[in-house]
Amino acid sequence: MQLAKRLIARGHEVLLLEKDGRQAQRLSNVLGDEYVMHGDGCELHTQKAAGFNRADVVVAVTGEDEDNLVACQLAKETWQVERVLARVNDPSHEEVFREIGIDHTVSATGIIFNLLEQQLQGDDLVAVGALHRGKLEVVETMLSHRSKLVSKKVSEIGWPEGTYVFYLLRDGQGNPVEGQTELQAGDTVLALIPTERAEDLRAVLTSSH
Amino acid sequence: MNVVILGCGRSGATLAVQLSSRGHNVALVERNPESLRRLGRKYPCKIVIGDGLDEDVLIKAGIESADAFMAVTRGDNTNLMAAQIVQRKFKVPKVAVKVADPMRAEAYRKLGLFCINASALIAGMCRDWLTDEPFQPIDEYNTLVKELEDI
């Protein structure tokens, strides 16, 4: 509903489909009748009535992956909707969504898991983003108190070839890294590396325990 | 044949019993243990309790060496998604899907899935029985009736 609200506010033509009658009624009370339709978004006659044939985008965000998959697949195959977006609740389902051509998926579980992973694991390498068609990678790591990099100066460490350590987060403050910077436990270090060096960098981080 | 059946409803249970008694190697995947009562006191085949959309559950049921997969839960979308996982990821050669909604069945038939629509089968067979016509091959029944086509 929050998604619909924002899209309406931006002036898009929005229709929200809801299978549950009482929920649909509640939604129309909040959003207005013209924005809500009661019906099963996986049924072709509902899709027709909702105007799937002239939709620019179909977004399926129920809590059931099978419903999101079928709604998007029918939108693409039967109504030729060009852009479909599905919520994937179980991250292991992302592959089948991709295989059948639903390229855009969002996974709350996946996002939360990645965030947790970044928070919980020390000394592991987390990919922040890829650059230059995946040839370069921006990575970050949080140093645990066990790390042997702690109390070393950045220039003293044997980084893999091509590694550019450029930024440091400490106590919520970010600063550019210099050769003289001494690393501490709890520091988050950001680096730019050639993608094929990621394993070497991981080895530097973990073998130093 | 190694067969994995998803769903121990009336269709799934009957199919499991029939195939097992003909000597096929059947594994039945069902989420709800209570549904197993449909199999009688002595289970005719291997049982795996779990979600049929979970690849680990399917693997436990032997999907990697299965010759056929039948998705016969009462959830059309569950059946359609499971069938596509099995077809694409595990390359099972024979896949059948029970789809209760005739139009959804037709849409996926066009995408190359073998979808069985029970209401079309029942209606067609009742029609021919009533009018004393001989019964026809399954494909004659298992298609969307023209009158329903215009959506």
Residue B108 has pLDDT above 60, yes or no: yes
Tell me the chain B residues in contact with residue A99 when contact means C-beta distances shorter than 8 Å: 84, 88-89
Q: How far is B88 from chain A (nearest CA, A)?
A: 8
Find tokens 């549950």 and name the residue: A20
Alpha carbon distance B89, B91 (integer Å): 6
Tell me: the pLDDT tens digits for B19-35? 999 999 999 999 999 99
Q: What crossing angle do the helices spanning A65-77 and B76-89 adopt, rounded to 10°?
A: 80
**Cβ of B90 under 8 Å from any chain A Cβ?**
no
B54 and A70: CB-CB below 8 Å?
no
Residue B91 confidence class, pLDDT cut points 50, 70, 90: very high
Write the pLDDT tens digit of every residue in B38-88: 998 889 999 999 999 999 999 999 999 999 999 999 999 999 999 999 999
Is the torsion defined by CA of B35, B38, B41, B43 positive or negative? negative
pLDDT along chain A (209 residues), means of 10: 87 93 94 94 94 94 95 96 92 91 82 66 72 82 83 89 90 87 89 88 72
The CA distances from residue B127 to A145, A176, B37, B124, B136, in Å, are 78, 79, 33, 5, 11
The pLDDT of residue A120: 57
pLDDT at B41: 87
Instruction: List the 77-136 stretch of A: residues with Cβ below 8 A of B.
Output: 77-78, 90, 92-93, 95-96, 99-100
pLDDT number for residue A65: 96
Which residue on chain B is closest to A49 by alpha carbon? B151
Q: Which of the residues A42, A93, A94, A96 would you substitute to probe the B interface, choosing the one with the greatest number of B C-beta atoms within 10 Å?
A: A96
**Percentage above 90 pLDDT, chain B:** 88
Q: What is the CA radius of gyration of chain A?
A: 24
Is B29 strand, coil or helix?
strand
Q: Please give the residue of chain B at the shortest CA–CA distance from A94.
A: B85
pLDDT of residue B136: 92
The size of the A-B interface in CB pairs under 8 A is 57
**The pLDDT of residue A122:** 60
Average pLDDT, chain B: 94
CATH 2.40.50.140 fits B2-117, yes or no: no
Q: Which residue of B has its CA nearest to A45?
A: B151
What is the C-alpha to C-alpha distance for residues B67 and B22, in angstroms, rounded to an integer? Answer: 15
CB B53 within 8 A of CB B81: yes
Measured between CB atoms, does A45 come within 8 Å of chain B? yes
| ipTM of the modeled complex | 0.90
Q: Tell me the shortest Cα–Cα distance from A43 to chain B, in angstroms.
A: 7
Calculate how close chain A gets to B150, using CA atoms only, in Å.
10
Domain positions in chain B are 2-117
Q: Which of B81, B89, B101 sits opposite A69 (nearest CB)?
A: B81
Q: Cβ separation of A96 and B151 shorter than 8 Å?
A: no
- Return the pLDDT at B47: 97
**Among positive and negative, which fits the CA dihedral B82, B88, B91, B95?**
positive
Those residues with Cβ within 8 angstroms of residue B124's Cβ, 6 or more apart along the chain or in another chain: B136, B140, B141
Q: Two tokens at B139?
A: 């494909």
Domains and CATH numbers, chain A: 2-109 (3.40.50.720), 118-206 (3.30.70.1450)
